[in-house]
Amino acid sequence: MIGIAFRFAPGAHPVPFHAPVDSEIEWPPSPWRLLRALAATAVRSRLHVEDASGALPAMLEALSLEPPHYTLPAAQLFPSAGAEGSGALLVLNRPSVMHVCWPHVSLRPDELRCLMQLAAELPGAWSASDWLSCEVVHEAPTRVDAVPMTAMGTGAVESGTPLQGRGERVIWRCPLPSHVWADTRGDDALSDAGGANLLQALIDEGGAWASRAVHGVAYAVRVEHSRASRKSRRPYRLFASRDRINAARYVISPPSRPRITDALDISEVFHQSILSRYDDRQEPAPLIITGHEPNVPGAVSRRGHQHVFVLPEDTDQDGLLDHVLIYAQEPFPEGVIAALARIRTLVTPDWWPGQKRRWRVALEDLWSVPARDAGASPMPEDILVGPARIFVSITPYLHPWHAKQGGAKFGPVEQIRKELRLRGLPEPVAITPLSAAHVAGQLVPAHKFRRLRYGKRQNIPGRWGSFWRLEFSEPVYGPIALGANCHFGMGLFAAEADGADRAYSEAEDAEMT
């Protein structure tokens, strides 16, 4: 077995290995596109000239002997426009890995050294060294997201296969070894050239060799990773049955993204937008939206934190908010899901101080965040949800109670422990104070954040705010938002990358409860 691990940093990146002359943007990149990237890297580093032993063409021929298997990260494509025309951005919400492995291929030592050199040089050759690294691996990942149907022994995706019945048939371009096509007759250019090999075909993308050296292979791909799934009539992804949905994630349009220090702004306005969906209805907004007891105007619910949390996210860690997570402990009623699906634009209300502000948003995902000890369930990767063993403050924690109760010390640490206990979370093994939030590589103190709501007068004991690191003995699911204004993005914690630089298998995810 031989494989390549492509490790991506979180954020929005150009689709890798796409050249301006390519007619189609590929994600995931097909086996043909991957070998073309290796060949192009060899040309740029002049390895094809310095390779006297012939290890480079021999290595490429070996990798063409079988279609590889893929383990794919949770990623999305967004259209973009540049100087060279329309394109796409690959958006990843956390450090992620794409594994491409050839289960039955082995390489000679010189071929292996050649592949390792190309893997190390590939990110730099494609101007991607800031967000991509590559390395050769010798162990297959435990999860497979895309597999050639010929390897499954059947032309259909069946229950019990490595894809567990959630596959979709797609055709990917794969290279053919040169002994299959190099002796093809009927083309003068091919007949006269002689000695054609796969390396030449990969370099000469538009030539006669390339047209003979590539063929289509049927793959079974998990639905959430297939191109066809992005053509669904529904504009968002649904990861659970509608009666179990308790999380909705929106993307904020890039031109209007606010700073993370303005997290309270977009959370307040988003909540107002949800409430406005009930203005023209006969029935009032439910408790899960208002936090107030029904039929009792202004009566705050005493049932705990059962109403929605509106939590902004900076998934690419550039200091600008790019997503908003709407979460509740209980499933959303169908009417709430319908209201959420209609939200497209957020506008500050008339009573908002300063100039009117607008944000364009789009619903991306609906899913069910697993309850504690409930086991794993299908869900997108999210920095607020985890699961993770360590969570770190990204907005100030405003402790809600006074520092003394009955003469006993009741500071932020004690209050955090109490809030976690009330939320049903396990006791953390460590609660460590932090001097500031880490935002786009800089330390941002609490006073830089807006911490008090415009929509109501507030007298909060911990109004100045503080930052903390929570460490649990085992991974837990978020989101974790504590303290005053926690339903509007304050006291928000994000999962720290504790081993998140690899692709998780389903078995590993199931253990993280």
Q: How confident is the model at residue 133 (pLDDT cuts 50, 70, 90)?
A: very high
> Which amino acid is located at 481 in the chain?
A
What's the pLDDT score for residue 445? Answer: 93
Q: Among residues 337, 351, 248, which one has the least CA distance to residue 286?
A: 337
What's the pLDDT score for residue 365? Answer: 85
Q: Among residues 185, 180, 182, 156, which one has the least CA distance to residue 169?
A: 156
Token pair 């289960």 is found at 103
Q: Looking at the predicted structure, is the pLDDT value of residue 374 above 60?
A: no
Q: Looking at the predicted structure, is the pLDDT value of residue 408 above 50?
A: yes
Give the chain's end-to-end CA distance (angstroms, integer): 32
More confident residue, 163 or 160: 163
Instruction: Report the alpha-carbon distance of residue 118 to residue 138 in Å, rounded.
Output: 16
What's the pLDDT score for residue 402? Answer: 82
Q: Looking at the predicted structure, is the pLDDT value of residue 34 above 50?
A: yes
Q: Looking at the predicted structure, is the pLDDT value of residue 70 above 90?
A: yes
More confident residue, 195 or 135: 135
* Cis peptide leading into residue 235 (ω within 30°): no
pLDDT tens track for 113-124: 999 999 999 999
Phi, psi of 239 (to 5 degrees): -100, -5
Q: Looking at the predicted structure, is the pLDDT value of residue 202 above 60?
A: yes
What's the pLDDT score for residue 167? Answer: 62
Q: How confident is the model at residue 231 (pLDDT cuts 50, 70, 90)?
A: very low
Q: Among residues 154, 146, 161, which one has the least CA distance to residue 67?
A: 146
Mean pLDDT over the full length of the chain: 79
What's the pLDDT score for residue 497? Answer: 63
Q: Among residues 384, 420, 413, 422, which one has the least CA distance to residue 267?
A: 384
More confident residue, 435 or 159: 435
Instruction: Give the mean model confidence (pLDDT) for residues 388-400.
Output: 92
Picking from 186-200, 407-421, 461-475, which range would have the lowest pLDDT averaged per residue? 186-200
* Residue 392 DSSP SS3: strand
What's the pLDDT score for residue 158? Answer: 39
More confident residue, 510 or 75: 75
Phi, psi of 173 (to 5 degrees): -75, 130
Q: Looking at the predicted structure, is the pLDDT value of residue 222 above 80?
A: no
Residue 30, both tokens: 């097909």
> Which amino acid is located at 380 in the chain?
P
Q: How confident is the model at residue 150 (pLDDT cuts 50, 70, 90)?
A: confident
Q: Among residues 212, 192, 188, 180, which one has the least CA distance to residue 32?
A: 212
Q: Among residues 99, 199, 207, which one has the least CA distance to residue 143?
A: 99
Q: What is the dihedral of CA 111, 112, 113, 116, to 10 degrees?
A: 130
Q: In what order do the strands lie in the sheet with 492-495?
A: 430-434, 467-476, 388-393, 492-495, 480-481
Instruction: Report the alpha-carbon distance of residue 124 to residue 132 in Å, rounded.
Output: 9
CB atoms closer than 10 angstroms to residue 363:
21
Q: How confident is the model at residue 159 (pLDDT cuts 50, 70, 90)?
A: very low
More confident residue, 91 or 173: 173
Instruction: Give the mean model confidence (pLDDT) for residues 369-398.
Output: 79
CA–CA distances in Å: residue 52 to residues 48, 57, 58, 197, 476: 8, 11, 12, 15, 54
What's the pLDDT score for residue 511? Answer: 32
Q: Looking at the predicted structure, is the pLDDT value of residue 38 above 80?
A: yes
More confident residue, 78 or 410: 410
Q: Looking at the predicted structure, is the pLDDT value of residue 260 above 50?
A: yes
Please, where are the H alpha helices in 226-357?
Answer: 263-276, 287-290, 334-341
pLDDT tens track for 304-314: 677 899 999 99
Q: Looking at the predicted structure, is the pLDDT value of residue 76 above 50?
A: yes
Instruction: Report the alpha-carbon distance of residue 280 to residue 111 in Å, rounded.
Output: 69
What is the share, in percent, of the chain residues with pLDDT greater than 70?
75
Token pair 């150009």 is found at 14
CA–CA distances in Å: residue 13 to residues 126, 127, 128, 257: 12, 11, 9, 17
Q: What is the CA radius of gyration of the chain?
A: 26
Instruction: Give the mean model confidence (pLDDT) for residues 448-460.
Output: 80
More confident residue, 241 or 55: 55
Q: Are 248 and 382 in contact (CB under 8 A)?
A: no
Residues in contact with 406: Cβ distance below 8 Å, sequence separation at least 6, in sequence order: none
Picking from 20-29, 33-42, 330-339, which range would have the lowest pLDDT averaged per residue? 20-29
Residues in contact with 411: Cβ distance below 8 Å, sequence separation at least 6, in sequence order: 399, 403
Residues in contact with 162: Cβ distance below 8 Å, sequence separation at least 6, in sequence order: 144, 147, 152
Q: Among residues 168, 149, 171, which one has the least CA distance to residue 222?
A: 168
Q: Looking at the predicted structure, is the pLDDT value of residue 256 above 50?
A: yes
What's the pLDDT score for residue 372? Answer: 64
Question: Which helix (DSSP H) or strand (DSSP E) does residue 91 occupy?
Answer: strand 85-92
What's the pLDDT score for residue 81? Answer: 47
Strand 237-238 to 358-367 pairing: parallel
Residue 6, both tokens: 């492509």
Picking from 126-140, 176-190, 245-259, 453-467, which range would have the lowest pLDDT averaged per residue? 176-190
Q: Among residues 366, 343, 269, which one has the least CA distance to residue 312?
A: 269
Separate counts of helices (H) and strands (E) for the chain = 13, 25
Residue 238, both tokens: 């649904």
